Amino acid sequence: MTKAPVGPESQRLHERAATVIPGGVNSNIRLAAPSVVFDRASGATLWDVDGRDYVDYVLGQGPQFLGHANPAVTDAVATACRDGMLFGATHRLEIEAAERVLAALKWPERIRFGATGTEAVQAALRLARAVTGRRKFVRFNGHYHGWLDNVLIGPDQPGPRPASDGQVADYLGDSYLLEWNDADALAALLAEHGDQICAVIMEPVMVNTGGIEPRPGYLQRVRELCDQHRVILIFDEVITGFRLALGGAVEAYGVVPDLAIYGKAIGGGWPVSAVAGRADLMEWFGTGRVNHSGTFNGSVMAVAAVIATMRELADDPPYQRVTAYGNDLMKGLAAVAERYGVPLHLHGPPSAFFASLGPADPVDNLAGLQRLDLDGYAALTTRLVGHGLWVMRRGIWFVSAAHGEAELATTLQRFEAALAEGGS
Ligand code: PLP
């Protein structure tokens, strides 16, 4: 019998939520999730208001890389804020947080903290415009850079097209939209319009749409092209930062951008983001020529969370464990699926892999993704949630440092139970 993915108490509270919070959620991306209402979380486990538990592969859309309620992070935040939260000037912990993040990343020379990835992207783009005196930027189909008017795009081609009613579509005219993983397309565009282009911005792994990794040599070629045309290369490492490696995609692929955006995992779950990069660029903020502001930037809680997170990640790096877990999980899911004749397609970095239904052929662009049965997989996730696996309909599975043997066994058992049920 199919278990309803949402228990009676979740249902009741979600209905109540929807009378005061539009859609019952505070971020539109959550409209796609089953309307489970949660009570608490610890490590890699979530509990909903009906007392059901879930192995969590959403991790709050990525930030909980150290697991939920990591004591080092929660204690650091609680302790630090007892002595004040905001000072309207520099607090000593902001300096330590900046030093620790720069030491972890190795390549950038300066960093500014913010509260969300969305605004850090805007700061980097403004900086790129200011420094180059050029207005347009290049971005890629399927990459997400936040919900503001100049970067939010719909999937339809040819783009860029707005993805929301009320969005000022004209602002999208500031960007050229290209297919990612196609260096020749970028070369051709820069050859024609390079002198109007301030920046190329990308997710260095296209995690948001299909968990697609860069083709060998692609990031290197993008770097060379940006140098050739004096265009600023911005890596949006909001997902990949501190997840693929301590040094994020820069460390994993060995290509260094001029600026990068961090968020999610940097604060162990606390809302904090950052722009980091070369001193000669970042100091345009320091002189005041380029405005980057925010009442809550560098709050005591945020920087305490960052310091604790950096300490945890540097003192006991979880990357090998997380990679091994992701690989074991993908192998285990594939084996179960094979037993049940389900054509499960898996690819991507083990700490943020992508699942769908369809042939096992490699996928390295959006055209490849379109050959998969994304809707069929989304329907399957409803059953997975009903069996206690909290996963996203759009196929990304985030792994944390808190996932271990017990979670692996439970996940495979629950996955098997969901497949044994059949149907969709
Ligand atoms: N950039 C990337 C790659 C993201 O995945 C996200 C959020 O998912 C953002 C930017 C926006 O970050 P935030 O939701 O913190 O504003």
316 is an active site residue: no
Separation between Cα atoms, residue 296 and residue 312, nearest integer Å: 24
Separation of 316 CA from ligand 1 center, angstroms?
26
Catalytic residue among 48, 57, 176, 264: 264
Determine whether the shortest distance from the Cβ of 146 to ligand 1 is under 6 A.
yes
Give the pair of three-digit tokens for residue 252. 């994993």
Atom 12 (ligand 1) nearest CA: 117
Q: How far apart are CA 28 and CA 76, in angstroms?
A: 30
Cβ–ligand 1 distance for 384 under 6 Å, the answer: no
Please give the pLDDT value at position 1.
40
Residue 415: partners with Cβ closer than 8 Å, 6 or more residues away: 332, 333, 336, 384, 387, 389
For tokens 């796609």, name the residue: 32
- Please tell me whether residue 319 adopts helix, strand or coil conformation: helix
What integer best gives the mean pLDDT of the chain? 96
140 CA distance to ligand 1 centroid (A)?
A: 15
Q: Is the predicted pLDDT of residue 33 greater than 50, yes or no? A: yes
Question: Would residue 227 show up in a list of annotated catalytic residues for this protein?
Answer: no
Residue 16 has pLDDT above 80, yes or no: yes
Tell me the per-residue pLDDT of 186-228, one tens digit each, with 9 for 90 and over. 999 999 999 999 999 999 999 999 999 999 999 999 999 999 9
Ligand 1 pocket, residue 237 CB under 6 Å: no
Crossing angle, helix 374-386 and helix 405-421, to 10 degrees?
110
Atom number, ligand 1, closest to the C-alpha of residue 115:
15
**Alpha-carbon gap, residue 139 to 231, rounded angstroms:** 13
Q: What pLDDT, on a 0 to 100 scale, did the predictor assign at position 423?
A: 58
Q: Cα(420) to centroid of ligand 1, in Å? A: 36
Q: Which atom of ligand 1 approaches the CA of 116 most closely? A: 15
For the chain, the distance separating the N- and C-terminal CA atoms, rounded to the nearest angstrom, is 12
Percent of the chain clearing pLDDT 70 (strictly above): 98
| Three-class SS state of 89 | coil
Q: Which residue has the tokens 């959403």?
A: 58
Which residue's CA is the nearest one to ligand 1's atom 7? 146
Nearest CA to ligand 1 atom 3: 238
What's the whole-number mean pLDDT along residues 281-294?
98
Q: Is the CB of 117 under 6 A from ligand 1?
A: yes
Structure tokens at 357: 């239904």
Q: Which ligand 1 atom is nearest residue 121's CA?
A: 10
Which residues on adjacent β-strands are paired with residue 197? Answer: 136
Distance 118 CA to ligand 1 centre (A): 6
Nearest residue (CA) to ligand 1, atom 1? 145
CA of 110 to the centre of ligand 1 (A): 21
Residue 149: active-site member: no
Q: How far apart are CA 307 and CA 246, in angstroms?
A: 14
Q: Kindly name the residue from 144, 218, 325, 377 that is annotated as catalytic.
A: 144
Q: What is the pLDDT of residue 409?
A: 98
Instruction: Please tell me the predicted confidence (pLDDT) of residue 158.
Output: 67
Percent of the chain scored above 90 by pLDDT? 95
pLDDT at 424: 47
- The residue whose C-alpha atom lies closest to atom 14 belonging to ligand 1 is 117
pLDDT over 50 (residue 77): yes
Ligand 1 pocket check for 142: Cβ under 6 Å: no
Residue 249 has pLDDT above 50, yes or no: yes
Quote the pLDDT of residue 3.
Answer: 54
* Amino acid found at 235: F
Pick from 129, 173, 166, 134: nearest CA to 147: 166
Q: What is the pLDDT of residue 306?
A: 98
The pLDDT score that the predictor gives to residue 5 is 83
Residue 93, pLDDT > 70, answer yes
For the stretch 348-366, pLDDT in tens is 999 999 999 999 889 999 9
Mean pLDDT of 128-140: 98
Return the bridge partners of 113, or none: 274
Q: How confident is the model at residue 156 (pLDDT cuts 50, 70, 90)?
A: low
